[in-house]
Amino acid sequence: MLDIKFIRENTDLIKAAAKKKRIDFDVDALCVLDDKRLVVLKEVEALRAEQNSANAAIAGATDQADRTARIESMRVVKEKLATKEDELKQVMSDWRQSMLMVPNVPDVTVPDGLSDADNKEVHRWGEPTKFDFTPKNHVDLMLAHDMVDFERGAKVAGFRGYYLKNDGFVLANAVWQLAMQHWMNKGFTPMLVPSLVRRETLLGTGYLPQGEDDLYKTQDGEFLAGTGEVATMGYHIDEVLERSEFPKKYLAFSPCFRREAGAHGKDVRGLIRVHEFFKWEQVVLCEASHEVSVKMHEEINRNTEELIELLGIPYHTVANCGGDLGLGQVKKFDIELWVPGEETYREISSASYFHDFQTRRTNTRYRDDEGKLRFAHSLNCTAIPTPRILVSIVENYQQADGTIKIPEALRPFMGGREYIGK
């Protein structure tokens, strides 16, 4: 959410932001609605003042006829006020809904483009893995080593269901342990966060109202979040923090749930696209400074790059184009890992910064050096998701004899073993 004063003073900027992000939003209509809001609000305040004045006059009236006349006059004012308050309630509802749909302004360095096909590579590490034998995909490799069970997963959980078992689960747990060690060494606070969250928390992070189709909803009105970012951003809802606490760096672990609405027919086999998974997520709150946000954005993205390098998996990082940005994102990087079975790079992590777009919604503020209350800036970045990361690990580390070499960084968390299958 943006400040209405900023929106009104920069309508051309908002129009340009909507155009770059390929978002259909009418800022002129919002301004007309805001004019109406201010007019009706002024009328309501005037009627309330008139009612208060009339109440005081009635209380001080000594003549019965005068008192009766004033009571009758106040009844008319009261009826007008009730009508105007109903009108204001509706106008405010429409205004708030429109305010939630205002796109944040992308950074000037964000490339133009319609979709992820237009994202621009900004960094590359390692070369695509080459084999002197015919490589297998992760499904065949993991089934051969009894690391996963898709058939029973589908029987129990439905389409895209799976069981991770034996070395499949051990490998996932090793990734979790390595990630926690990596980020704790960088000063992050690890947290196990809720996946069951209220609507207000999803509104606060910008996943609602436009993303509801991809969320699982309970019969009680809560939602199952698709990322630990949601609950972690909710941790400081309606709080006032001290500037000395910044940056606040959290490493959130949670199960995640996504309906994958609109993904029918995509990645139907294997672990690339599943409905339930587990993820470490970086979430950062910092002072309201563009320069600091940019610095932190580079830092959290680099944190994940470093972990991928520890795992020894080839990857590249892309800057997302305008059409591949969400409503609130100012800029985003995606890290994509090499998947030999598909001979392409597949996304494993996204790093975004939002300025105060999310914190205005969550009312997360801090006192600056002058004691003035300001909205914090927020950022987030995938640390590592499982089981998707297992796809690149087993495919890139497969051996000619069918075994899977364990990345050296994971061996301490797998009993010192060097191979799966030996």
Q: Where are the domains of the chain?
A: 4-99, 116-420
Report pTM.
0.92
pLDDT surpasses 90 at 56: no
In whole angstroms, give the CA distance from residue 332 to residue 323: 11
Give the chain's end-to-end CA distance (angstroms, integer): 55
Q: What is the mean pLDDT of residues 148-156?
A: 96
Domain 4-99, CATH class in plain words? mainly alpha
For residue 128, the one-letter residue type is P
Question: Which tens digit of pLDDT belongs to each residue from 112-131?
Answer: 999 999 999 999 999 999 99
Q: How many residues does the chain have?
A: 422
- Identify each DSSP E strand in 147-288 by its residue range: 148-149, 163-164, 189-192, 196-197, 216-217, 223-224, 240-242, 248-257, 276-286
pLDDT surpasses 90 at 312: yes
Find, among 38, 32, 29, 30, the residue nearest to 88 by Cα.
Answer: 38
Given this model, what pLDDT does residue 307 score? 98
pLDDT surpasses 80 at 318: yes
- Mean pLDDT, rounded, of the chain: 94
Task: Give the rounded percent of residues in the chain with a pLDDT score beyond 70.
Answer: 95
pLDDT surpasses 80 at 301: yes
Task: Give the rounded percent of residues in the chain with a pLDDT score beyond 90.
Answer: 86
Given this model, what pLDDT does residue 77 score? 82
Find, among 306, 286, 307, the residue nearest to 297 by Cα.
Answer: 286
- Identify each DSSP E strand in 105-236 by its residue range: 120-125, 148-149, 163-164, 189-192, 196-197, 216-217, 223-224
User: Residue 369 half-sphere exposure, CB side, CA atoms within 13 Å?
Assistant: 2
Helix count (H) and strand count (E) of the chain? 12, 18
Which range (42-46, 166-170, 352-356, 385-389) has the least confidence? 42-46
Contacts of 15 (CB under 8 A, 6+ apart): 27
Write phi, then psi, for 266 (nearest 5 degrees). -95, 130
In whole angstroms, give the CA distance from residue 405 to residue 388: 18
Q: Judge contact between 337 and 315, C-beta under 8 A.
A: yes
Question: Which tens digit of pLDDT belongs to each residue from 259-277?
Answer: 986 666 676 689 999 999 9
> What token pair was written down for 305?
């790059």
Q: Judge contact between 307 and 280, C-beta under 8 A.
A: no
DSSP code string of 76-125: HHHHHHHHHHHHHHHHHHHHHHHHTTPPPPPPTTSPP-SSGGG-EEEEEE
User: In the structure, what pLDDT confidence band is assigned to residue 59 with cuts at 50, 70 and 90?
Assistant: low
Question: Which tens digit of pLDDT belongs to each residue from 214-262?
Answer: 899 999 999 999 999 999 999 999 999 999 999 999 999 999 999 986 6
Q: Judge contact between 110 and 20, C-beta under 8 A.
A: yes
Give the active site residue among 160, 258, 346, 361.
Answer: 258
pLDDT surpasses 80 at 74: no
Residue found by looking up tokens 């009894």 in the block:
146
Residue 310: Cβ-neighbour burial (10 angstroms; 0-12, 13-18, 19+): middle
Give the active site residue among 349, 388, 392, 395.
Answer: 388
Question: Does the annotation count 152 as an active-site position?
Answer: no
In whole angstroms, give the CA distance from residue 34 to residue 309: 50
Given this model, what pLDDT does residue 210 score? 81
Residue 199: Cβ-neighbour burial (10 angstroms; 0-12, 13-18, 19+): middle
> What token pair was written down for 91?
């106008």
Question: Does the annotation count 273 as an active-site position?
Answer: yes
For residue 89, how many other CB atoms are within 10 A of its CB? 12
Question: Does the annotation count 388 as an active-site position?
Answer: yes
User: In the structure, what pLDDT confidence band is assigned to residue 53 with cuts at 50, 70 and 90?
Assistant: confident
Question: Which tens digit of pLDDT belongs to each residue from 342-385?
Answer: 999 999 999 999 999 999 999 999 999 889 999 999 999 999 99
User: In the structure, what pLDDT confidence band is assigned to residue 4 with cuts at 50, 70 and 90?
Assistant: very high
pLDDT surpasses 90 at 1: no
Based on its alpha-carbon atoms, the radius of gyration of the chain, rounded to whole angstroms, reads 27
In whole angstroms, give the CA distance from residue 24 to residue 134: 48
Q: Which residues pair with 280 in a beta bridge?
A: 253, 384
Q: Judge contact between 197 and 230, C-beta under 8 A.
A: yes
In whole angstroms, give the CA distance from residue 277 to residue 67: 70
Given this model, what pLDDT does residue 79 score? 86
Given this model, what pLDDT does residue 255 score? 97
Please tell me which residue, 303 or 267, carries the higher pLDDT value: 303
Q: What is the mean pLDDT of residues 124-141?
A: 96
Give the active site residue among 195, 254, 350, 392.
Answer: 350
Give the active site residue among 48, 85, 347, 367.
Answer: 347
For the domain spanning 116-420, the CATH number is: 3.30.930.10
Which range (57-71, 122-136, 312-326) has the least confidence? 57-71
